[in-house]
């Protein structure tokens, strides 16, 4: 059974998609053992509590300097006993200390088709605003392993989503979540939980 620690910052719809997929059997051999938020106000914490999942809040402003926050985050993850860390709508840049402790064992969902519209400054609604401003016809979402960079790790799954004439950023964000994020994040977890994923020379290999 793959133990998951899910890191959240906001509404938690991606967390909910994971919980629902475990519940309905779309995801097997995995369970969420901890939900960690960097915001005490995150509705994702409500979702976790409703599901009976232990939660923790590790907020940067509660620590005098970055290093103590980094150590507290690592401790919270290690105490959870998680095998895989899942960043689900998580807006925290994961410290190198944590990346080093979980090599190819942290995955992130990004709401665009990496390498487009990603990296520093591209998060949340701003990603979709940039997509609309550029006028691309297709966007989507990406699940990737987290390395020391921002949205730079090996890509595991991607799913394309059509940009429609007249889309607002909010409408596009919802479509990307519904048609892509909420599907490929659980799928990625199921593949990893069932031993189908390896990383070879920096690229993901998925067994049939
Ligand atoms: C999603 O688009 C996610 O990709 C981005 O934040 C949005 C909300 O995520 N990082 P959630 O509802 O908190 O899972």
Residues with beta carbon inside 6 Å of ligand 1?
8, 10-15, 44, 88-89, 109, 111, 123-124, 173, 177, 181
Instruction: Kindly give the residue spans of alpha helices, DSSP state H, lying in the chain.
Output: 13-23, 43-50, 66-80, 96-101, 125-134, 169-176, 182-193
Q: How far is the CA of 178 from the centre of ligand 1 (A)?
A: 11
| 9 CA closest ligand 1 atom index | 13
Q: Which pair of structure tokens corresponds to residue 91?
A: 């807006």
Mean pLDDT calculated for residue range 165-191: 98
Closest residue by CA, ligand 1 atom 9: 89
Q: Which active-site residues does the annotation give?
A: 110
Cα(108)–Cα(102) distance, integer angstroms: 13
Mutate to test the pocket of ligand 1, among 41, 91, 111 (most ligand atoms within 8 A of CB): 111
Mutate to test the pocket of ligand 1, among 35, 121, 159, 177 (most ligand atoms within 8 A of CB): 177
pLDDT for the residue 11 = 97
Rg (CA), the chain: 16
Mutate to test the pocket of ligand 1, among 6, 10, 47 (most ligand atoms within 8 A of CB): 10
pLDDT band at 25, cuts 50/70/90? very high
Q: Which of 129, 105, 112 is nearest to 199 (CA)?
A: 105
Q: Which pair of structure tokens corresponds to residue 139?
A: 């966007």
Bond prior to 35 in cis (omega within 30° of 0):
no
pLDDT band at 163, cuts 50/70/90? very high
CB 90 within 8 A of CB 108: yes
pLDDT for the residue 37 = 98
pLDDT for the residue 68 = 97
| 181 CA closest ligand 1 atom index | 4
Find the CATH number of the domain harbouring 142.
3.40.50.170
pLDDT for the residue 101 = 98
Range of the domain at 40: 2-206
Instruction: Kindly give the residue spans of alpha helices, DSSP state H, lying in 66-180.
Output: 66-80, 96-101, 125-134, 169-176
pLDDT for the residue 130 = 98
pLDDT for the residue 175 = 98
Backbone angles phi, psi at 67, to 5 degrees: -60, -40
Mean pLDDT calculated for residue range 102-128: 97
Residues in the chain, total = 208
Q: pLDDT averaged over the chain?
A: 97
pTM of the predicted model as reported, rounded to 2 decimal places: 0.97
pLDDT band at 55, cuts 50/70/90? very high
pLDDT band at 27, cuts 50/70/90? very high
Specify the DSSP element, H or E, that contains 160: strand 155-162
Give me the long-range contacts of 165-174 (CB less than 8 A, separation at least 24).
167/132, 168/132, 169/125, 169/128, 169/129, 169/132, 170/125, 170/128, 172/128, 172/131, 172/132, 172/139, 173/111, 173/124, 173/125, 173/127, 173/128
pLDDT band at 70, cuts 50/70/90? very high
Q: In total, how many domains does the chain have?
A: 1
């Amino acid at each position: 059974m793959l133990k998951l620690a899910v890191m959240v910052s906001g509404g938690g719809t991606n967390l909910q998609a994971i919980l629902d997929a475990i519940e309905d059997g779309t995801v097997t051999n995995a369970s969420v053992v901890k939900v960690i938020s960097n915001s005490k106000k995150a509705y994702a914490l409500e979702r976790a509590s409703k599901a009976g999942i232990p939660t923790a809040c590790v907020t940067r402003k509660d620590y005098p300097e970055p290093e103590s926050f980094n150590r507290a985050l690592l401790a919270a993850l290690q105490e959870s006993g998680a095998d895989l860390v899942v960043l689900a709508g998580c807006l925290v840049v994961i410290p190198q200390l944590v990346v080093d402790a979980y090599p190819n064992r942290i995955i992130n969902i990004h709401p665009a088709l990496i390498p487009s519209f990603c990296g520093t400054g591209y998060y949340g609604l701003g990603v979709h605003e940039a997509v609309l401003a550029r006028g691309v016809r297709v966007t989507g979402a990406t699940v990737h392993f987290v390395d020391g960079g921002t949205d730079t790790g090996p890509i595991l799954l991607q799913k394309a989503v059509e940009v429609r004439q007249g889309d607002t950023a909010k409408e596009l964000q919802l479509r990307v979540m519904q048609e892509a994020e909420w599907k490929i994040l659980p799928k990625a977890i199921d593949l990893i939980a069932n031993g189908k994923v390896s990383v070879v020379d920096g690229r993901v290999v998925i067994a049939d």
